[in-house]
């Protein structure tokens, strides 16, 4: 049982933002800069979202963490922003225009008021596990700060991985470890909510014909981001099965979206561009490697994207038009791709051998809020945005949406939409409050 | 090179699909179907290329393409198609469309597209055969004379319907069918052999390779070599042998062939209607063939009834008509086999026999117009395919001299 605290008289933000990724941070910052009090709720141990884990971003090849980290620290240092990490939104109830947001504060077994982020507990811990942030390639300890530039710099203990040896409690200089900490449910009242819950990716195994379960060398695009990141698990690009430097890398596009046979018929929108970006980065990291992108059609729709695609072609990245139908593991950990190249009139059916394959997984909504909140989903599972002219409005009054929670989009569009959502919120709050003021004034006059 | 474009081609082919559910227009030519197909073995690019032909209205090229007959409907393309465009059903519809276009009468097209026409033709034809056969007034021998064996009276089938009549009608049917089929066959051969590649080249079709091509095609058809390749779909969970599509097909086909041999030999070497014991070689062959065929038909039908999975979830009426007509014929034939050994003749026996003869005649006359036609067209297409692959004699000689 988790005790529920009604915090009606406690901290009451003007707006609550669900999700601490780039969309949530941008919305929170844009609201806070207007003098509104914002609560930023993040499920994981750090804000930053998927973006902080990326190597570089398209089409400018800017360093992702160099763009994300300032937003993270701006959010955390902002007087008007209160950040709750390790906290899940369990439901929203709207009563008389006020949203009662039910939050589950998960037990971290570390007192955040005492923790100074010195990481002595992490260095002392013996329980090592594959790091989810490194897509399982690096190691993580049962207690520790999520990653080097995580915000907040607070250690979190994972009870699933902890061997309860007590070493961390012994080395902690501030006695911050609390093994008896309990999860807590709190209800926060607010006038507006921004849903920026982002995305999850569908499984590498969603297409059994790709045999991802049978080879470590069929990796996700996020794994490739980590391999390419300067602070990644190996510090260089090696393939996971045997540490070989790959000489032939394949990108299989539409491996989890635009495919009705797996139930995801929409386009994930970012895969073409990040595949091109990764291909370019690989050309730098592995100058003699062959890099091939298997695609159905390249969707280079944004500003500067087409030129980016043409640059990749000019750099010698191979583009093969055809959906890969099957991937078979062959000897030496290599992979054989079966594809019909629809552009070659003499030789349609081809088989290509690569030593590393990156699957472009589909973007799925990360949070199903349809049963627990007044927000409705559209048929694809993302938050429904019924007004074409106001794409950040949901079906519920006072609840707004930003970023991939409303549908797949890239970072540029996400940031633009997060700003638009913040604008909608401040407009909504202004109208609501001026209406309330005039109502009370009317009441005074009539009374 | 100029192409005659039929803008309505896709709509016409769709009418041959099961219940109008075929949505192959959704295809965006990604090539998944070709790459996943266990039978796409060369650079031909089927099924995608055939779908593309239909999409852009290249009817002449579609009818000249024997590739549609190289598909055995394992359903792997349909299961993995990103657009749920159902390439497998498209290939089946394209085959049916091709038959209807090779056929000069236009009747097969009507029968394929309309369930009503199909049933109407079947009923009219059956009624005609019943009246024709009964007009002989053979009479039903219900007495106990004319012992078949063990001195007990028996059914005298061929007094009821004279063998000469059955034979006579049969020969007449063969002539009608032969003419109709010959036209369709000629049409297919002409279209395939006058085909040109995009670069304007024609296959050599060397005369020396004609016989070997036919032999290969017939052998492949008999031993299901190509069909068996459908097993190699790359899926770890294979079906048990006795349920695999090619095994079921082989049961139906070999059972049918056995019955055909039994009937023919019976007619050629045994006086019509003379009583024989069940272990008489040809009767035994017919019996075993009938049972084997019935096994295949039972599996094929039951999987279509209960089947929610590709390739058994959507069957066209022509599929059902084929299976049910064949099952009816085999069942009545087997019951007749039992009836003749009953001690007393029964009205039921005579009616069953009449039904059997009528259904068998229906099969024969409808052969060029229905799914039965695939026996001829598929084998022919495979022979033409082999032949088209054969190198021109001078090239072959050059290759030999180089070696």
pLDDT at B278: 75
Q: In chain A, what residues touch B43 (CB-CB under 8 Å)? A: 346-349
A26 and A139 fall within a common domain = yes
Burial class (CB in 10 A: 0-12, 13-18, 19+), B128: middle
How close A258 gets to chain B, by Cα (Å)? 6
A211 and A230 fall within a common domain = yes
The encoded tokens of residue A34 equal 């207007």
Q: pLDDT category, B346, cuts 50, 70, 90?
A: confident
Domain end position, chosen among A361, A389, A414: A361
Q: pLDDT category, B24, cuts 50, 70, 90?
A: confident
Fold observed for domain B112-195+239-381: Fumarate Reductase Cytochrome B subunit (1.20.950)
CB atoms within 10 A of CB B3: 11
A357 neighbors A217 (Cβ within 8 angstroms)? yes
SS3 B149: coil
- Whole-Å CA distances, A265 to A205, B8, B122, B308: 17, 27, 43, 22
B211 has a chain A CB within 8 A of its CB: no
SS3 A325: strand
A387 assigned to some structural domain: yes
Contact A348 B43 (CB under 8 A): yes
CB atoms within 10 A of CB B218: 13
How far is residue B292's CA from residue B253's CA, in Å, rounded to a whole number? 9
DSSP string, A212-227: GGG-TTEEEHHHHHHH
A217 and A271 fall within a common domain = yes
A411 and A278 fall within a common domain = no
Question: Can you tell me which residue has the tokens 């059902």?
Answer: B320
Q: Which helix (H) or strand (E) holds A294?
A: strand A290-295
pLDDT at B74: 87
Nearest CA in chain A to B233: A209
Higher-pLDDT residue of B256, B401: B256
How far is residue B173's CA from residue B362's CA, in Å, rounded to a whole number? 10
Torsion of CA B165, B169, B174, B179, to 10 degrees: 150
Pairing of strands A38-41, A15-18: parallel
A213 and A118 fall within a common domain = no
A281 and A338 fall within a common domain = yes
A404 and A420 fall within a common domain = yes
The encoded tokens of residue B314 equal 């959507």
What domain range includes position A18? Answer: 4-199+364-435
A52 neighbors A228 (Cβ within 8 angstroms)? no
A375 neighbors A234 (Cβ within 8 angstroms)? no
A338 and A252 fall within a common domain = yes
B25 has a chain A CB within 8 A of its CB: no
pTM of the predicted protein model: 0.87
Whether the predicted interface score ipTM is above 0.90: no
How close A340 gets to chain B, by Cα (Å)? 5
Domain end position, chosen among A309, A330, A361: A361
Contact A340 B32 (CB under 8 A): yes
Distance of CA B23 to the CA centre of its chain: 25
B36 has a chain A CB within 8 A of its CB: yes
Residues on chain A bordering chain B, Cβ-to-Cβ distance under 8 angstroms: 207-209, 254, 258-261, 265, 296, 321-326, 328, 338-342, 345-349
Phi, psi for B395 (deg, rounded to 5): -70, -40
Residues of chain A with pLDDT under 50: 1-3, 8, 447
Average pLDDT, chain A: 93
CB atoms within 10 A of CB B338: 12
Pairing of strands A143-144, A156-157: antiparallel
Of A207, A261, A323, the CB nearest to B84: A261
A21 assigned to some structural domain: yes
Higher-pLDDT residue of B44, B180: B180
A413 assigned to some structural domain: yes
A325 neighbors A339 (Cβ within 8 angstroms)? yes
Q: In chain B, what residues touch A260 (CB-CB under 8 Å)? A: 81-84
A128 and A61 fall within a common domain = yes
Of A259, A338, A340, the CB nearest to B45: A340
Q: In chain B, what residues touch A258 (CB-CB under 8 Å)? A: 82
A194 and A240 fall within a common domain = no
A195 and A223 fall within a common domain = no
A392 neighbors A385 (Cβ within 8 angstroms)? yes
pLDDT at B137: 56
B29 neighbors A342 (Cβ within 8 angstroms)? yes
Picking from B82, B83, B234 by the largest number of A CB atoms within 10 A of its own CB, the best residue to mutate is B82
pLDDT digits (tens, 9 = 90+) for B127-181: 888 887 777 655 555 443 333 322 333 455 666 666 677 778 778 877 877 888 8
Picking from A214, A262, A325 by the largest number of B CB atoms within 10 A of its own CB, the best residue to mutate is A325
How far is residue A202's CA from residue A39's CA, in Å, rounded to a whole number? 29
Instruction: Count CA atoms closer than 13 A to A359's CA, side-chain side.
Output: 31
Burial class (CB in 10 A: 0-12, 13-18, 19+), A291: buried
Here the CATH number for the domain that contains residue A383 is 3.50.50.60
Task: Please list the residues that pair with A41 across neighbouring strands.
Answer: A18, A84
How far is residue A268's CA from residue A254's CA, in Å, rounded to a whole number? 8
Angle, alpha carbons B311-B316-B321 (nearest 5°)? 115
SS3 A91: strand
Pairing of strands A38-41, A81-84: parallel
pLDDT at A3: 47
Q: In chain A, what residues touch B86 (CB-CB under 8 Å)? A: none
Contact A346 B43 (CB under 8 A): yes
pLDDT digits (tens, 9 = 90+) for A182-211: 999 999 999 999 999 999 999 999 999 999
A185 and A220 fall within a common domain = no
Question: Closest Cα partner for B361 from B174, B84, B155, B105?
Answer: B174
Q: pLDDT category, B403, cuts 50, 70, 90?
A: low
A442 assigned to some structural domain: no
Question: What secondary structure letter does DSSP report for A259?
Answer: B
Q: Among B42-51, B229-238, B378-387, which stretch is predicted with the lowest mean pLDDT?
A: B229-238
B28 has a chain A CB within 8 A of its CB: yes
Nearest CA in chain A to B39: A349
pLDDT digits (tens, 9 = 90+) for A331-365: 999 999 999 988 877 778 889 999 999 999 999 99
Domain B9-102 class, CATH top level: mainly alpha
How far is residue B36's CA from residue A326's CA, in Å, rounded to a whole number? 6
Total number of domains constituting chain A: 2
Higher-pLDDT residue of B2, B289: B289
pLDDT digits (tens, 9 = 90+) for B180-234: 889 999 999 999 998 887 777 788 888 889 999 999 999 999 999 888 888 766 5
Q: In chain B, what residues touch A321 (CB-CB under 8 Å)? A: 31
Q: In chain B, what residues touch A261 (CB-CB under 8 Å)? A: 79-82, 84
Question: Can you tell me which residue has the tokens 């939409």?
Answer: A417
Angle, alpha carbons A112-A113-A119 (nearest 5°)? 50
The encoded tokens of residue A252 equal 């299989």
A446 assigned to some structural domain: no
Say whether pLDDT at B2 is over 70: no
Q: pLDDT category, B267, cuts 50, 70, 90?
A: confident
A·B CB contacts under 8 A? 82
Picking from B24, B26, B29, B31 by the largest number of A CB atoms within 10 A of its own CB, the best residue to mutate is B31
Of A209, A340, A346, the CB nearest to B34: A340
Q: Sign of the CA dihedral B284, B286, B289, B294?
A: negative
Q: Helices in B340-392 by DSSP H: which ranges?
A: 347-366, 374-389
What is the residue extent of each domain of chain B? 9-102, 112-195+239-381
Domain end position, chosen among A306, A329, A361: A361
Task: Please list the residues that pair with A93 across neighbouring strands.
Answer: A100
């Amino acid at each position: 049982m988790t005790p529920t605290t009604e915090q009606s008289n406690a901290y009451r933000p003007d707006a609550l933002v669900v999700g601490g990724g780039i969309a949530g941070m941008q919305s929170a910052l844009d609201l806070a800069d207007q003098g509104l009090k914002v609560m930023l709720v993040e499920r994981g141990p750090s804000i930053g979202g998927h973006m902080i884990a990326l190597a570089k971003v398209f089409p400018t090849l800017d360093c992702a963490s160099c763009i994300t980290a300032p937003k993270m620290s701006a959010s955390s240092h902002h007087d008007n922003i209160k950040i709750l990490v390790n906290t899940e939104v369990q439901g929203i109830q709207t009563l008389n225009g006020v949203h009662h947001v039910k939050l589950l504060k998960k037990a971290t077994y570390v007192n955040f008021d005492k923790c100074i982020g010195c990481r002595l507990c992490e260095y002392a811990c013996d329980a090592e596990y594959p790091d989810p942030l490194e897509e399982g390639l690096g190691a993580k300890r049962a207690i520790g700060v999520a990653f080097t530039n995580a915000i907040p710099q607070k250690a979190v203990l994972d009870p699933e991985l902890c061997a309860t040896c007590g070493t961390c409690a012994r080395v902690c200089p501030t006695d911050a470890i609390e093994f008896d900490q309990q999860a807590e449910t709190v209800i926060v009242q607010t006038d507006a909510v921004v849903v920026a819950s982002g995305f999850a990716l569908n499984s590498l195994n969603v297409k059994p014909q790709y045999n991802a379960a049978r080879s470590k060398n069929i990796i996700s695009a996020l794994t490739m981001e980590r391999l390419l990141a300067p602070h990644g698990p190996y510090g260089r690009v090696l393939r996971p099965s045997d540490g070989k430097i790959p000489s032939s890398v394949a990108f299989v596009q539409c491996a989890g979206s635009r495919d009705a046979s797996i139930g995801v018929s929409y386009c994930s929108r970012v895969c073409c561009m990040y595949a091109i970006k990764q291909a370019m980065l690989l050309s730098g990291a592995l100058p003699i490697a062959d890099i091939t992108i298997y695609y159905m059609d390249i969707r280079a729709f944004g500003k500067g994207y087409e030129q980016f695609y043409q640059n990749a072609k000019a750099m010698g990245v191979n583009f093969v038009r055809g959906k890969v139908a099957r991937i078979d593991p062959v000897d030496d950990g290599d992979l054989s791709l079966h594809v019909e190249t629809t552009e070659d009139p003499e030789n349609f059916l081809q088989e290509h051998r690569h030593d590393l394959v990156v699957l472009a997984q589909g973007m799925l909504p990360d949070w199903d809020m349809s049963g627990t909140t007044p927000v409705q989903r559209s048929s694809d599972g993302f938050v429904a945005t019924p007004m074409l002219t106001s794409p950040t409005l949901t079906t519920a009054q006072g609840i707004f949406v930003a970023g991939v929670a409303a549908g797949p989009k890239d970072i540029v569009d996400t940031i633009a939409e997060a700003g638009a959502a913040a604008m909608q919120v401040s407009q909504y709050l202004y109208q609501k409050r001026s209406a309330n003021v005039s109502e009370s004034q009317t009441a005074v006059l009539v009374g | 090179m100029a192409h005659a474009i039929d803008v309505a081609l896709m709509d016409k082919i769709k009418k041959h699909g099961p219940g109008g559910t075929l949505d192959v227009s959704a295809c965006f030519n990604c090539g998944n179907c070709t790459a996943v197909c266990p039978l796409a073995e060369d650079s031909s690019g089927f099924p995608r290329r055939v779908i593309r032909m239909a999409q852009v209205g290249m009817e002449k090229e579609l009818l000249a393409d024997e590739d549609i007959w190289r598909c055995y409907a394992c359903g792997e393309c349909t299961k993995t198609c990103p657009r749920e465009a159902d390439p497998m059903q498209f290939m089946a519809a394209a085959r049916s469309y091709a038959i209807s276009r090779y056929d000069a009468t236009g009747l097969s097209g009507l029968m394929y597209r309309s369930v009503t026409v199909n049933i109407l033709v079947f009923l009219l034809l059956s009624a005609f055969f019943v009246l024709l056969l009964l007009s002989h007034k053979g009479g039903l021998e219900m007495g106990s004379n004319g012992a078949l064996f063990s001195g007990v009276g028996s059914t005298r089938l061929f007094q009821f319907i004279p063998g000469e009549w059955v034979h006579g009608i049969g020969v007449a049917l063969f002539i009608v069918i032969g003419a109709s089929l010959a036209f369709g066959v000629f049409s297919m051969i002409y279209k395939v052999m006058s085909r040109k590649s995009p670069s304007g080249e024609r296959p050599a079709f060397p005369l020396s390779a004609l016989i070997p091509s036919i032999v290969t095609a017939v052998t492949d058809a008999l031993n299901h070599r190509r069909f068996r390749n459908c097993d190699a779909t790359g899926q770890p969970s294979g079906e048990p042998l006795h349920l695999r599509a090619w095994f079921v097909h082989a049961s139906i086909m070999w059972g049918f062939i056995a019955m055909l041999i039994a009937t023919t030999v019976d007619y050629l070497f045994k006086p019509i209607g003379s009583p024989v014991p069940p272990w008489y070689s040809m009767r035994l062959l017919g019996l075993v063939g009938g049972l084997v065929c019935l096994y295949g038909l039972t599996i094929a039908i039951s999987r279509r009834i209960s089947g929610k999975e590709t390739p058994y979830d959507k069957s066209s009426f022509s599929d059902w008509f084929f299976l049910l007509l064949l099952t009816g014929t085999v069942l009545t034939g087997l019951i007749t086999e039992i009836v003749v050994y009953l001690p007393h003749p029964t009205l039921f026996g005579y009616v069953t026999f009449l039904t059997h003869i009528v259904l068998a005649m229906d099969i024969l006359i409808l052969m060029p117009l229905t799914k039965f036609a695939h026996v001829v067209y598929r084998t022919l297409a495979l022979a033409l395919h082999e032949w088209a692959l054969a190198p021109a004699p001078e090239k072959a000689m050059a290759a030999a001299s180089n070696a």
